[in-house]
């Protein structure tokens, strides 16, 4: 069994990892990083299971299966996946209305949708997410991680868990609260100091180990992992979701599956980019979609709640030295070992130690430089950073990213729409030349039409597009409309420096073009059906 797993692990490591041979020190670092991640996964998986309204083992099994499959086959070595709060808050209404079996069926369909996205290679569209949106994403997620840790400062079992924290319930007080705060601060101090003393052990693991030892030896009364729930269990077993296979079931689970698939892929692909910036790796978006889809499909058949990439645990892994698939696989296997044989020991770990680790993740994740550049970047970029951060905290990541991309796109379109203008002159033959400057697209089409004074122009007019770029069908329609105005006035119009696509697509103005050797060769963003037909004025 062990040899088979190692063979699969070795075969799955991509070419970037296989070029280097891991020495004993790196193996130790990878495995210890995985152990650190596994310890941090336990309370997160349990808490998110509570959010979704399912048994804690449903969350733990999801963390194990999703984590293992994505570690082996995902698009970025070093990334960690598991049960997440972003998905759990969507699942809660499904479980409340229809039960956990419908959740398992939904997770299976969610996985199939993600596989389809991977096969269609739609993951590449994550490139359309602007950098200000990325900054807002990491800032918002850092705040969400911070708020989620505040749940550990409430009396276990006294509060209702929500997406970003707990609502209601009683706060810890007195000596217990002070002990919790002191141990959290001690954990953070150990994590800060450990790299200055030694790199033989990941700093987060040192913090967890030392603080746990202090609590156990001195019998300090603080909340521990076991106070959340028992994590004792066995191997996940194959289980076909017990739901009717009919159209009614599909209408129930399909909307949830689409939303979960979208949220999961957005969070995973953004985390993939973030980890890639730290590790210097590129690509892998489609592979990550396929791995996430396969992981969720399998998870649905083994009693798990599904999952996606976890930015907090990914940051723990990368900053602990995890750079290959070994650390992710180790994290999943350690988590399974906790469930099956080490639950009594893991349940003794104080929550303060894990909170301290996550607080250090928050500090390392938040893009502090974004606060300095808010006054230096364009106003629209600053607004997008703040907007995405706020929406991430108030709603969810997927909504925040979509809002950020839309606002960025509208701001970009408006900015370019105002750039259209023309320099005019009279040439030696008495013809008036309009040298158009700026992009011509749907946003600037009206401004383009206003550049021309048809009634006052001479009988021969030349429109030179050397300084412009015709982008879409709206631009072609605007050119056709201008040509029609000059035709109606009985004046001769010539169009210069348009691309071959424009030559091909323009009908009324096509005969007005003059070809030259320096015509541009760019393509237009128009539908192929329009290309094969003929675009007339007013269409």
Cα–Cα distances in Å, from 308 out to 72, 153, 289? 14, 26, 10
Has residue 157 got a pLDDT over 90?
A: no
Mean pLDDT of the chain: 85
Average pLDDT (216-235) is: 90
Band of the pLDDT at 524, cuts 50, 70, 90?
low
Structure tokens at 178: 């002070």
Distance in angstroms (rounded) separating the CA atoms of residues 82 and 296: 10
Distance in angstroms (rounded) separating the CA atoms of residues 527 and 498: 18
How does DSSP classify residue 171? B
Q: Which pLDDT belongs to residue 159?
A: 46
Distance in angstroms (rounded) separating the CA atoms of residues 510 and 158: 74
Distance in angstroms (rounded) separating the CA atoms of residues 225 and 182: 17
Beta bridge partners of 117: none
pLDDT, tens digit (0-9, with 9 covering 90-100), for 7-65: 434 444 443 444 456 788 889 999 999 999 999 888 888 878 887 889 999 999 999 99
Q: Which pLDDT belongs to residue 34?
A: 94
382, with CB counted inside 10 A (0-12, 13-18, 19+), is middle
Has residue 6 got a pLDDT over 60?
A: no
Has residue 230 got a pLDDT over 90?
A: no
Average pLDDT (407-419) is: 87
pLDDT, tens digit (0-9, with 9 covering 90-100), for 121-147: 988 888 788 889 888 988 988 898 888
3-state SS string for 242-281: CCCCCHHHHHHHHHHHHHHHHHHHHHHHHHHHHHHHHHCC
Distance in angstroms (rounded) separating the CA atoms of residues 323 and 496: 54
Q: Which pLDDT belongs to residue 529?
A: 41
Q: Which pLDDT belongs to residue 331?
A: 95
Q: For residue 426, report the phi and psi dihedrals to the nearest 5 degrees.
A: -110, 125
Structure tokens at 126: 């994550």
Band of the pLDDT at 539, cuts 50, 70, 90?
very low
Distance in angstroms (rounded) separating the CA atoms of residues 420 and 424: 13
Beta bridge partners of 426: 432
Q: Do the beta carbons of residue 422 and residue 435 sit within 8 Å?
A: yes
Q: Which pLDDT belongs to residue 510?
A: 57
Q: Which pLDDT belongs to residue 89?
A: 79
Average pLDDT (164-173) is: 63
Distance in angstroms (rounded) separating the CA atoms of residues 62 and 85: 13
Q: Which pLDDT belongs to residue 352?
A: 93
Q: Which of 270, 299, 296, 255 is nearest to 114 (CA)?
A: 296
Distance in angstroms (rounded) separating the CA atoms of residues 220 and 405: 49
Band of the pLDDT at 513, cuts 50, 70, 90?
low
User: Hey, is 354 helix, strand or coil?
Assistant: helix
- Regarding beta strands 432-440 and 421-426, do their DSSP bridges make them parallel or antiparallel, or are they unpaired? antiparallel
Q: Which of 213, 203, 141 is nearest to 357 (CA)?
A: 203
Structure tokens at 452: 């021309």
Q: Which pLDDT belongs to residue 325?
A: 93
Q: Which pLDDT belongs to residue 501?
A: 66
Class of domain 418-532: alpha beta
How does DSSP classify residue 522? P
What does the DSSP assignment read for 57-100? HHHHHHHHHHHHHHHHHSSSTT--EE--HHHHHHHHHHHHHH-H
Q: Which of 253, 278, 235, 226 is nearest to 111 (CA)?
A: 253
Average pLDDT (321-331) is: 92
Q: Which of 79, 139, 47 is nearest to 351 (CA)?
A: 47
Q: Do the beta carbons of residue 499 and residue 469 sit within 8 Å?
A: no
Q: Which of 349, 357, 41 is nearest to 220 (CA)?
A: 349
Q: For the chain, what are the domain ranges? A: 24-369, 418-532
Average pLDDT (314-320) is: 89
Cα–Cα distances in Å, from 395 out to 8, 36, 264, 289? 39, 30, 15, 24
Distance in angstroms (rounded) separating the CA atoms of residues 470 and 263: 35
Average pLDDT (514-523) is: 68
pLDDT, tens digit (0-9, with 9 covering 90-100), for 71-113: 999 988 989 999 988 888 789 889 999 999 999 999 999 999 9
Distance in angstroms (rounded) separating the CA atoms of residues 252 and 248: 6
Q: Do the beta carbons of residue 313 and residue 174 sit within 8 Å?
A: no
Q: Which of 426, 325, 278 is nearest to 14 (CA)?
A: 325
Sheet with 492-496: list strands edge to edge.
421-426, 432-440, 460-470, 492-496, 513-514
Q: Where are the alpha helices (DSSP H) in 443-498?
A: 445-449, 473-488
pLDDT, tens digit (0-9, with 9 covering 90-100), for 474-498: 888 898 899 899 999 999 988 888 8
How does DSSP classify residue 490? T
Single pTM value for the model: 0.75
Distance in angstroms (rounded) separating the CA atoms of residues 31 and 321: 10
pLDDT, tens digit (0-9, with 9 covering 90-100), for 431-451: 999 999 998 988 999 999 999
Has residue 169 got a pLDDT over 70?
A: no
Torsion angle of alpha carbons 344, 346, 347, 353, nearest 10°?
160
219 Rama sector, left if φ>0, alpha if ψ -120 to 50, beta otherwise: left
């Amino acid at each position: 069994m062990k040899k088979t797993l190692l063979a699969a692990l070795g075969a799955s490591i991509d070419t970037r990892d296989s070029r280097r041979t891991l020495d004993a020190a790196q193996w130790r670092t990878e495995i210890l990083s995985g152990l650190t991640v596994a310890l941090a996964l336990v309370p997160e998986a349990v808490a998110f299971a509570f959010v979704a309204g399912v048994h804690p083992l449903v969350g733990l099994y999801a963390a194990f299966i999703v984590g293992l499959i994505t570690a082996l086959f995902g698009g970025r070595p070093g990334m960690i996946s598991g049960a997440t709060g972003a998905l759990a808050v969507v699942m809660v209404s499904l479980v409340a209305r229809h039960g956990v079996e419908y959740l398992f069926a939904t997770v299976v369909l969610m996985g199939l949708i993600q596989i389809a996205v991977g096969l269609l290679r739609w993951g590449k569209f994550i490139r359309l997410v602007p950098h200000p949106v990325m900054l807002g994403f990491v800032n918002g997620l850092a705040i969400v991680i911070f708020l989620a840790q505040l749940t550990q400062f409430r009396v276990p079992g006294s509060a209702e868990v929500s997406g970003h924290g707990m609502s209601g319930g009683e706060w810890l007080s007195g000596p217990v609260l002070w002990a919790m705060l002191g141990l959290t601060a001690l954990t953070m101090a150990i994590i800060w100091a450990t790299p200055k003393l030694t790199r033989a052990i990941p700093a987060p693991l040192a913090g967890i180990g030392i603080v746990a030892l202090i609590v156990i030896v001195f019998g300090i009364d603080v909340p521990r992992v076991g106070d959340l729930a028992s994590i004792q269990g066995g191997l996940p077993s194959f289980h076909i979701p017990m739901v009717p296979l009919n159209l009614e079931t599909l209408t129930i689970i399909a909307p949830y599956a689409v939303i979960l698939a979208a949220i999961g892929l957005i969070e995973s692909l953004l985390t993939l980019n973030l980890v890639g910036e730290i590790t210097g790796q590129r690509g892998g978006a489609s592979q990550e979609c396929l791995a996430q889809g396969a992981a969720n499909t399998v998870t649905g058949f083994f009693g798990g709640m599904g999952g996606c990439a976890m930015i907090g645990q990914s940051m723990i892994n990368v900053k602990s030295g995890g750079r290959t698939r070994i650390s992710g696989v180790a994290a999943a296997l350690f988590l399974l070992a906790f469930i099956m044989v080490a639950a009594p020991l893991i349940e003794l770990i104080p929550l303060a130690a894990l909170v301290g680790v996550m607080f250090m993740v928050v500090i390392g994740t938040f893009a502090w430089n974004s606060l300095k550049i808010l006054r230096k970047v364009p106003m629209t970029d600053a607004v997008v950073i703040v907007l995405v951060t706020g929406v991430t905290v108030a709603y969810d990541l997927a909504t925040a990213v979509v809002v950020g991309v839309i606002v960025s796109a509208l701001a970009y379109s408006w900015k370019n729409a105002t750039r259209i203008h023309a320099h005019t002159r009279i040439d030696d033959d008495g013809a008036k030349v309009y040298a158009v400057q700026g992009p011509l697209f749907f946003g600037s089409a009206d401004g383009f039409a206003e550049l021309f004074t048809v009634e006052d122009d001479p009988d021969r007019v030349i429109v030179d597009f050397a300084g412009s770029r015709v982008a879409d069908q709206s631009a072609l329609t605007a050119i056709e409309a201008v040509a029609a105005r000059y035709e109606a006035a009985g004046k001769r119009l010539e169009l210069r420096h348009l691309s071959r696509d424009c030559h091909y697509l323009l009908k009324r103005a096509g005969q007005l073009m003059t070809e030259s050797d320096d015509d541009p060769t760019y393509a237009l963003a128009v539908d192929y059906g329009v290309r094969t037909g003929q675009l007339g004025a007013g269409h």
